[in-house]
Amino acid sequence: MAAITPELSDDDGTISPSHGSSAFDNKSDEKMDTLVTQIQSQLPGSNGSWSVYICDLSGGSEATINDSPMQAASLIKLFIMGAVYENYDSLSQQYGSATLDSYLTPMITVSDNDAANSLVSCLGSGDSTAGMQKVNSFCQSHGYTNTSMGRLLLASNEFGDNYTSAYDCGKFLKEIYQICSGTTQTPSLLHAEEMYSLLKQQQRTNKIPAALPEGVSVANKTGELSNVENDAGILYNAQGGNDLVIVFLSQNLSSPGEAQNTIAQLSRSIYLYYND
């Protein structure tokens, strides 16, 4: 087990070591409890607000730190993807699968905003407002209760914004992993294999994957605004046998570059904690 050296922090956030999970029977353990306490101590106390989700996919324990709705930035694209794939058959009849795929791939792999907005329009049969409601309905029906879409990508946030939580993103990725690995008896997402494949093709790798040991595989989606740095990823084919889901959300940052480094270094610590 790799040692994680605590650092001083001014953030007195909450730790929830056994967030609800029917697949894991609300399972937590001492090892996870120790980890989240140590990660909490290393979150920056003077560089924005932070939220974290960690899931040991092999052992079945999961935890959150400071879980609450935060600015989603491009993490909202995870849920646009989920809503599109839930309606993929009907949308394919209307627009053609080639068109949908031509939007889905760049939306996830390079975070293309125009592609995301085009998919929202498709969901609403040409009405973007109706499309955003389809995304919100998808989130509510699947239990992503802190996630909502209030504006298109690049649009003004004067009348609404896009929000998610570390737990919601972690739950989404965990469900994809469980479906694709055959470890759930109640698949909840359609086309999970296709979603997993897109995430594995991610080209933005400067956060969770950046400091991981060579050979570790990551399927992730990032999100950025001027003062927001987010990343949500599945760490799979782990060398020690413990695949993981890790999510970091951070907002109101004074130094986004330092936040990127924090995410990279803490992701490495979490990985080595379970796989060294």
* pLDDT tens digits, one per residue of 161-198: 999 999 999 999 999 999 999 999 889 999 999 999 99
**What is the pLDDT averaged over residues 106-128?**
99
Q: Where are the domains of the chain?
A: 15-68+165-275, 73-141
Of residues 152 and 276, the one with the higher pLDDT is 152
Q: Residue 239's pLDDT is what?
A: 85
Q: Tell me the angle at which helices 97-109 and 192-200 cross, rounded to the nearest 10 degrees.
A: 40
What span, in angstroms and rounded, lies between the C-alpha atoms of 254 and 252?
A: 7
Query: 3-state class of 183 per DSSP?
Result: coil
Q: State yes or no: pLDDT of 99 exceeds 60.
A: yes
Q: Residue 55's pLDDT is what?
A: 98
Q: State yes or no: pLDDT of 120 exceeds 70.
A: yes
> Where does residue 90 rank: exposed (0-12), middle (13-18), buried (19+ CB within 10 A)?
exposed
pLDDT digits over 246-273, tens only? 999 999 999 999 999 999 999 999 999 9
Q: State yes or no: pLDDT of 14 exceeds 70.
A: no
Of residues 103 and 22, the one with the higher pLDDT is 103
CATH number assigned to the domain covering 15-68+165-275: 3.40.710.10
Of residues 174 and 6, the one with the higher pLDDT is 174
Query: Is the dihedral angle over the CA atoms 38, 43, 49, 55 positive or is it negative?
Result: negative
Which residues lie below 8 Å from residue 201, measured CB to CB, with a gap of 6+?
Answer: 105, 108, 109
User: What band does 8 get if pLDDT is binned at 50, 70 and 90?
Assistant: very low
What is the CB neighbour count within 10 angstroms for residue 203? 10
Q: State yes or no: pLDDT of 10 exceeds 90.
A: no
- The label of the residue with tokens 């990551």 reads 218
What span, in angstroms and rounded, lies between the C-alpha atoms of 30 and 16?
A: 13
In the numeric block, which tokens belong to residue 169? 């993103």
Q: State yes or no: pLDDT of 26 exceeds 60.
A: no
Task: Tell me the backbone φ, ψ of residue 244, rounded to 5 degrees.
Answer: -140, 155
pLDDT digits over 30-84, tens only? 999 999 999 999 999 999 999 999 999 999 999 999 999 999 999 999 999 999 9
Which residues lie below 8 Å from residue 19, measured CB to CB, with a gap of 6+?
Answer: 26, 53, 62, 63, 64, 67, 167
Tell me the three-class secondary structure of 105-158, residue by residue. Answer: HHHHHCCCHHHHHHHHHHHCCCCHHHHHHHHHHHHHHCCCCCCECCCCCCCCCC
Q: State yes or no: pLDDT of 6 exceeds 70.
A: no
Percent of the residues in the chain that have a pLDDT greater than 70, as a whole number: 90
Q: Residue 73's pLDDT is what?
A: 99
In the numeric block, which tokens belong to residue 178? 């469980």
What span, in angstroms and rounded, lies between the C-alpha atoms of 92 and 87?
A: 8
